[in-house]
Amino acid sequence: MSAAVQAVQSRAQILTGQFAEIYGSEPDGVWRAPGRVNLIGEHTDYNNGFVLPFAIDRSALAAVRLRPPGRDPEVPDGVVRLASRYAPKGHGLSREEFSIHGLTPGSTEGWAAYPAGVVYALEAAGFPVPAFDLLLDSTVPVGAGLSSSHAVEVAVIVALNDLLGLELEHADMARLTQYAENRYVGAPTGIMDQSASLMGREGSALFLDCRSLAAETVPLPLAEHGLAVLVMDTRVAHSHSDGGYSARRASCEHGAAVLGADSLRDVPADADLSGLDAETRRRVRHVLGENRRVGQTAAELQAGRMDTLGQLLTASHASLRDDFEVSCAELDLAVEAALTAGALGARMTGGGFGGSAIALIRCADEEQVRTAVLAAFQGRGFREPVLFTVLPAAGAGRV
């Protein structure tokens, strides 16, 4: 048994004990869903394009117990009770509840909106959900661009899928959690994050077609080549429900419409963009180029060639910085410092406007890259970033 598996099982045991303390009896089970790092392919998912994420060895855990009507006379039927060992804006235990019968978009706020959104999506799809009790824990940093919210949603939906015998496929659960994000939480996210959390495999990345949800595992043998992915969490919080993300999506939709396409996926890579205004042209240029880079990266990995990956990552960052304009000073500094210190490639990852950057590094260079990034942030007076390496991990399931 690997150290990572042992760590998850230890967390699950602790969560089970605390669940019993809170709710009076043990849960029906504990389910795990990982966060993700997107190796390459940013802002292509909602344009029906291609992405190449991998699930990481940091995860959300959900301890769940169904509560049929009348089981607990002190709790009204239809009320879902929630508790979380990680509170995004604080420490200790956070408690919330909501009624299944009164769910409307936005009716539950904060971290509780994510499990509530899953219930809302299941109900809307014709899957009645009974009341339940839930205790959450997570090691996925909040606001770091590593998909902490989707990890929570996926942990909840895989738990309910198992407990209710819904027999939903991975693609079904990905679409339902996207519906929860889009319609209930109000964040116009694509399909990538949920898909990576659900379909990830240890030692592999996921080459995903975001239109069909056709997925192909691609080997990502970092350790075999003496490489690692260093996550550089700038601690500049971002939110997909903020206006910048929505504006980028609207700009892409406008560009596709002007070019006579249903989405930018259908626009040829060599299309004439001269009819677009300057800003829309930059946005479209990024998406078309990023789709090409995803395909090139997947092909290189399939062929066992690791030596060109860094160049593709760095080109992705330049496009996100200059054409899509979703980077920030801290992300740019992290990328620049890592490259100067010997990283093979680096780029921001996630939706942008904060969050994390990643660097592809030789394991032998890790300490010097870490030192350089920390020194660069200190020299600019920025908040100290959080640095850690990640490995490709298995997708969601019961612990």
Each residue of 150-164: pLDDT tens digit?
999 999 999 999 999
Pairing mode, if any, of strands 29-40 and 79-84? Answer: unpaired
Backbone dihedral angles phi then psi of residue 77, each to the nearest 5 degrees: -60, 145
Q: Which fold has domain 3-217+394-398?
A: Ribosomal Protein S5; domain 2 (3.30.230)
Q: What is the pLDDT of residues 72-131, one digit of tens each?
A: 778 888 999 999 987 655 567 899 999 999 899 989 999 999 999 999 999 999 999 999
What is the mean pLDDT of the segment spanning 136-157?
A: 91
pLDDT for position 87: 62
Work out the percent of the chain whose per-residue pLDDT is above 90: 82
Q: What confidence score (pLDDT) does residue 348 get?
A: 96
Give start-end residues of each CATH 3.30.230.10 domain in the chain: 3-217+394-398
Strand partners, 250: none
> What is the pLDDT, as a whole number, of residue 89?
54
Q: pLDDT for 338-364, tens place per residue? A: 999 999 999 999 888 999 999 999 999
d(CA 101, CA 40): 40
**What CA–CA distance (Å, rounded) separates 344 from 307?**
8
How far apart are alpha carbons 100 and 242 in whole angstroms?
Answer: 27
CA distance 207 to 224: 20
193 is catalytic: yes
Task: Please tell me the distance from the alpha carbon of residue 283 to that of residue 322, in angstroms, as a whole number.
Answer: 9
Q: What confidence score (pLDDT) does residue 321 get? A: 98
- pLDDT above 80 (res 392): yes
pLDDT band with cut points at 50, 70 and 90 for residue 187: confident
Q: With contact defined as beta carbons under 8 Å apart, do 263 and 48 qualify?
A: yes
Q: What is the pLDDT of residues 5-21, one digit of tens each?
A: 899 999 999 999 999 99
Could you tell me if residue 49 is left (phi over 0), alpha (psi between -120 and 50 degrees) or otherwise beta? beta
Neighbour tally for 254: CB within 10 Å: 16
Mean pLDDT, the chain, rounded, equals: 93
**220-390 in CATH: which number?**
3.30.70.890
pLDDT reported for residue 65:
97
Question: Would you tell me the crossing angle of helices 309-322 and 278-302 to the nearest 10 degrees?
Answer: 170
**Range of weakest confidence among 13-27, 147-161, 187-201:** 187-201
| Residue 169 confidence (pLDDT) above 60 | yes
Residues of CATH 3.30.70.890 domain(s) within the chain?
220-390
What is the pLDDT at residue 254?
A: 98
d(CA 285, CA 302): 26
- Residue-level pLDDT at 328: 95
- Options 57, 133, 137, 193, the catalytic residue: 193
pLDDT greater than 90 at residue 147: no
